Each structure stands twice: as C-alpha cells, then as structure tokens.
Amino acid sequence: MSGTLITSELVEGRRITASKIARSKIIPNGIGALKAEDLPETENRICDEWVWYMESLSSKKFALVNHNEQAVKVKLAIWSSRYHVNGQAKQKIHIKKALGHYYFKFGVMVTLTFDPKKITRVDAWSDLGYKVRAFIDKINKWRESRGLSKIKGFLHVNEDQPSSVYPAPHIVFPGLRYLAPHDLVAKLWGYGFVKVNVGGSVHPANYACKYITKMKGKDFMMAMMWFFNIRTYTFSRVFKYRGEDRGISEWEFLGRGKGKSGGLESLEDAIKRLMDAGYYTFNIGLVRLRTGDAGVFDSG
C-alpha cells in the first residue's frame, strides 16, 4: 500500500498536516462509522501511513545561516520530532523547566487503563485527550461538592498498556496530598482499571521523563498518537513554560528541503552559493565542510 510520502500539503493557502490527510483517507466518515470487522485493517493502514510519514520526514532537512560567523547548519527535520529520541530529550528538558519548583514536590499520580470489553482500541486512542480532560473535570466537580479545592496543576503523559497496546495515560498532580476515594476515581473514569500512587513514591518530573523515554520502539503507540494528533504530554496552565529571554539569535532560517518553490533557488543551491563565498557548513553530525565538499544533502 502506498503511503502519503509527505509531511504536509498546502490546500487553498492553508497547510494541512500529513496526519489529517491520512485521516481523511482512512476514516473519511469518522470513527463511529467503522465496523468491528474493519478495525484490524484500519489499524494496519494507520501504521503503514505512519511508516511512510517517518521515512518522508527522515529525508527532509533544514538549514540555518549565521552571516557574522559565515556559517551554515544543516539538520534533519526529524531531529525535532517528538517521535525521535532527540526530540524526546528536548521534551524532557521542557518538562523540568515547566515544573519549576514543583519538580521537587511529591504528589498523587493516577494511571488510567482501558478494558477491551468496553471500548475498541482505535476508539480509545482517537479522542484520548478529551477522555482525560473529562475525567479531571469530573474529579474537580466531586471535590468542589465536598468543599475541597479545585485541582489546578497537573501533568498528563501518555504510555501504552504492554499487553493490549491500548493507551495508559498517567496524570500527575504535584503537591497534592489527597485526590478522591479510589473506588470513586475508578467509577468516574469508567473505562477500566485505575491505579493511584500517593506520597513519596511519586516524583513528577522523573515519572514524566521516564515515560517519554519509553516511547522508543513503540511503533504502534506512536503511529496512533501521530494519526490522531495526540501530544506526548500536556500541562495545565499553571505549569505553562514561557521560556527564557535568549536575546536575538544570530542564526537565521535559510530554508528546508531540496526542491525549488516559486522560481526561487533550491536550498542546496543556496548553500553551495554561500560555500562558494567562503562560508563553512556543519552537516547533521556537526562536521565542518569546506567549499566544494559533497554530501551536504546525503541521507543522514
């Protein structure tokens, strides 16, 4: 079966992601229209599309130029992807910075699972974020009805159930001492078994980083997350990372890919022109290249 072989498309001036294009092909009428006998083939097609997407992404490169240093950096686009170990390492750093002083606080962690008898695997993955948010809303409504404070701070990280490959989202509430009775938590979730860890056994940042790192090699999970546009992790607003003031960067975006667009020179031609002018180039592995060197656009 042929895949998309693209990472995005321009449609009527708007950029449409490859995952959205794949969804329009595989489930044009939505999840609700799928029959039970269609589910295995649907999962296979999703995985095929994801493989093609990753192959396409791994061949795409982008470049930055620093005119003061007369230097050009060429990098693989996939390095910034949440499906690559480098992108996941950046996510781990982002989590630690976003948590701030909550990084050192213990709290409550809830692991949610799905019972295959209650829901199909595709349906469980399809609107996972909505299910998690609805669960937290129910918890807050119960807490408010009992005079308890509303939970404002949480970190949601996704994992899969090893045996069934259903999603197993983890929700961490840093600094919280008490969430709700266990049987009530399970009832409010409603899709399957619930595990609640409380107190010193939970270190939010460590848990978040652990599960992001464990994504490596979990192709089915990553395919589902890509297809349904599911984030690796989400924060509540209280943990929103605003970044740091790094000043104005000397590196400017030069371009991406190898093709020509709108009559402009290709990225490869632009880099060769700069190299002929005396600039040096760092390839993906940060190896210095000089004028006339080949291999800048070789697969990395």
Domain-located, residue 296:
no
**CA dihedral angle for residue 119, residue 121, residue 122, residue 128, rounded to 10 degrees:** 80
Domain shared by 139 and 94, yes or no: yes
Q: Is residue 90 domain-shared with residue 70, that is, in the same domain?
A: no
CATH of the domain at 93: 3.30.70.1910
Question: What whole-number distance in Å separates Cα of residue 196 and Cα of residue 217?
Answer: 27
**Six-digit token pair at 219?**
């192709």
Same domain, 22 and 120: no
Q: How much is the average pLDDT of 238-255?
A: 69
CA 180, CA 148: separation in Å to the nearest integer? 10
Flag the least confident range among 80-94, 211-225, 230-244, 266-280: 230-244
pLDDT tens readout for residues 109-141: 899 999 999 999 999 999 999 999 999 999 999
| 299 located within any domain | no
Residues 119 and 40 in one domain: no
Is residue 2 domain-resident?
no
Count of structural domains within the chain: 3
Q: How far is it, in rounded angstroms, from Cα 291 to Cα 277?
A: 8
- pLDDT above 80: residue 231: yes
Q: For position 6, what pLDDT does the model report?
A: 43
CA distance 263 to 265: 7
If asked whether residues 29 and 137 sit together in one domain, one would say no
Q: Does the structure show a pLDDT above 50 at 212? A: yes
- pTM score of the predicted model: 0.77
Q: Identify the residue with better confidence: 119 or 107.
A: 119
Radius of gyration of the chain (CA): 23
* Count of alpha carbons within 13 angstroms of residue 214, beta-carbon side: 13
Q: Is residue 297 part of a domain?
A: no
On whether the CB atoms of residues 154 and 140 are closer than 8 A, the answer is no
Say which residue, 13 or 120, is predicted with more confidence.
120
Q: Is residue 36 assigned to a domain?
A: yes
Q: Do 174 and 44 fall into the same domain?
A: no
Give the pairing of strands 155-157 and 233-235: antiparallel
Same domain for 137 and 124 = yes
Task: Name beta bridge partners: 288.
Answer: 282
Regarding whether 114 and 192 lie in a shared domain, the answer is: yes
Structural domain range at position 260:
63-78+246-289
Residues 96 and 70 in one domain: no
Residues 132 and 161 in one domain: yes
Please tell me whether residues 220 and 282 are part of one structural domain: no
Residues 143 and 41 in one domain: no
Task: State residue 243's pLDDT score.
Answer: 54
